[in-house]
Amino acid sequence: MTGCARSPAFWVGSALPVIGAAACAAVPLAGRPGYESALVVAPLAGLGSGVVAASVVARARAAGESPNFDALLLRAFGCAACGPIAALVVLAVSGAARGFCDPLDGFGLFAVGPLGAAMASAGTAIVIALAVPGRRLPIAAWIGFAAASLAWDAWLLMSTPQVFVFDHFLGWFGGPIWDEAIGLQGRHAWFRGVTLVRLTTLLSLAHALHDPARLRLDHARARVRARAWIPAIALAIAMAATFLAEPALGLRASEASIRRVLAGETRTEHVVIVHPAAVTGPERRMIAAEAELDWSDLEEFFGTAPEGPITIYMFESAGQMRALVGTGPTSVAKPWLGESVMTWGRPLHPVMRHEMAHLFSARWGRGPFRTPGKLWGILADPLLLEGIAVAADWDGDPVDPDVQAAAVIRAGIVKDPASVGGLGFFGNEGGASYLLAGSFARHLRGKHGSEALREWYGGAGFDEAFGEGQKAA
């Protein structure tokens, strides 16, 4: 451990999770061990621990040391654990001051997230450092590996209906952060069980190929030591088997895996509804008719429509939806895919038109997510994103959003209507920001027309689109 303290990489890598924990401690919602703090600290702990472990191997090699494999593992894992443990202490102290919500659940989520990510990253970084020569190159190689893992996560979120991510090196993202039912689940045990299987077989292979004199992996040893093939074959089998098993274990989702569970489908001219097989014939016809009516109304509102059929996944319950895609009861739309997930509901469905409006708005959006906001919609503007959907799903029962928005303002729930812009959208109680944003978008459409609203949604400045300042409007 004293050798670690002399390495700048140790202090940088260890500081990352501690900084994340300190930032969480300053926020009431995240100032204790729990999902929110684990979400922030886990990727920092994984990245930092990998940097520390890779540097331990590289420094030992540069110093001409020749420890055996077990001693090297002990030293690298010990140094890599310092940052996550210090982060846990910071959050525990903060939690003791603020009060714990559910200590068992909170510490368990920290173990699954930051601690698990740190150990998986450290073990993998050790192998990378043994495979890559030099002193700085192993750290760069580890960072590249972590970036590739993050890219895989992004690909899953971009290309499939799932909104959760189980990343062995960067932690667990449970889906929309406003879902309240986020806690320890059985699949977390499967998640870290898979991590353990993969890491154990990887380290077994590295042990068989380890050359202590050079602190490198010697591929020639596989030719002279037949037993080296055993962990290699075990690693290949473990990687393939656990990857194929991930959907069944709830660690990954795909369109095919969701369809196998729901097993029912109703198609109309414009909409594909995937639903539980138990839905009756009359219910199918009613939901299909409602979907087509919504399509017609939304096409009139937007002045355009999606090019191809849209897909709506309707789950039997919020629990089933959460298990399969990572959100529940909150419905989620992915405009760039033309897909939305929600729970089943008999007509009139409470949120189907709103979620379909998000899919229609993709025709107005830009960037990879087809959404409004900065950086080509990557930093989405919730005022526009949700305001347009509420305005398109205009409901007058019992009173329309204009009347509700006026009541919210007069009651003092929202003192400044202009505060719903930007991140201020999330600072108001309940659905107040949704009501105000929808009423505002509807007002702009009535005063300036759909084309002006479309220009604003597509990236034009407010003044450019409407000829007046946003705050005054």
Whether residue 124 contacts residue 117, with contact meaning beta carbons closer than 8 Å, is answered with: no
Backbone angles phi, psi at 139, to 5 degrees: -65, -45
Helix (H) or strand (E) holding 276: strand 271-276
pLDDT value of position 327? 84
Tokens linked to 389: 């959907």
How, if at all, do strands 165-167 and 171-173 pair?
A: antiparallel
**CA 383 – CA 369 distance, rounded (Å):** 16
pLDDT value of position 425? 76
Whether residue 16 contacts residue 45, with contact meaning beta carbons closer than 8 Å, is answered with: yes
**CA 371 – CA 378 distance, rounded (Å):** 7
CB atoms inside a 10 Å sphere around CB 422: 14
**CA 87 – CA 160 distance, rounded (Å):** 33
Averaged over successive runs of 10 residues, the pLDDT of the chain (473 residues) comes to: 76 96 89 91 97 95 91 95 96 90 89 96 97 93 97 94 94 74 83 94 89 84 62 85 91 92 95 95 94 95 93 94 87 95 90 96 93 87 91 74 80 77 70 85 89 91 83 70
How, if at all, do strands 210-211 and 216-217 pair?
A: antiparallel
CA distances from 389 to 201, 304, 355 (A): 49, 14, 7
DSSP line for 119-133: HHHHHHHHHHHHHS-
**CA 404 – CA 392 distance, rounded (Å):** 16
Query: pTM score, two decimals?
Result: 0.86
How, if at all, do strands 216-217 and 271-276 pair?
A: unpaired
Q: What is the pLDDT of residues 38-89, one digit of tens each?
A: 999 999 999 999 999 999 999 999 999 989 999 999 999 999 999 999 999 9
Nearest by Cα to 458 from 253, 302, 248:
302
**CA 67 – CA 69 distance, rounded (Å):** 6
Which letter does DSSP use for residue 1 in this model? Answer: -
401-410 and 432-448 helices, crossing angle to 10° = 120
Tokens linked to 316: 């039997």
**CA 17 – CA 292 distance, rounded (Å):** 50
